Amino acid sequence: MFPQLLRFTDLGLLLLRLMAGIVFFTSGWSHVTKPAERSQSIGMSKGFTVFLGLAELAGSLGIIFGVFQQLAAIGLILIMLGAVYKKIEDWHTGFWGEKSSGWHYDLTFAVMCFVILVTDGGRYVLMH
């Protein structure tokens, strides 16, 4: 319907990478700087929480700057699928959940990372 908008595809992918990267960076930072609090919140050990935080930090920087962005996207997809699994199997949370704590959020970010994966992040990356 609007073929003229296709020229903004790479800009759209850059904005997608920035948004997802900022969310993953802040989440990872919280895991690394407040491991006791975050581990209790997610029901995991402190050690795993720190590992998770470091993985989120590394993945976020990868997708933001476009360095190994496809590997970063795969890692972040796995983290989000793990979160979905935990919410469904352990916490018995529905798609929408209560008070916005459902797994719709996690699935949305997994799909965002899938788009980064299959597009290689677009043209505005530091490394192809």
Condensed to tens digits (0 to 9), the pLDDT of residues 43-94 reads 999 999 999 999 999 999 999 999 999 999 999 999 999 999 999 999 999 9
**Host domain of residue 90:** 3-119
Q: Is residue 31 part of a domain?
A: yes
Q: Is residue 127 part of a domain?
A: no
Is 0.85 topped by the overall pTM? yes
Q: Is residue 125 part of a domain?
A: no
CA angle 35, 108, 11 (to 5 degrees): 105
Q: Report the distance separating Cα 38 and Cα 30, nearest Å.
A: 7
Q: How many domains does the chain have?
A: 1
Assign 101 to helix, strand or coil: coil
Q: Is residue 23 part of a domain?
A: yes
CA-to-CA separations, 41 to 10, 27, 48, 91, in angstroms, rounded: 37, 12, 13, 12
Average pLDDT over residues 87-102: 88
Q: Is residue 14 part of a domain?
A: yes
Q: Is residue 126 part of a domain?
A: no
Q: Is residue 128 part of a domain?
A: no
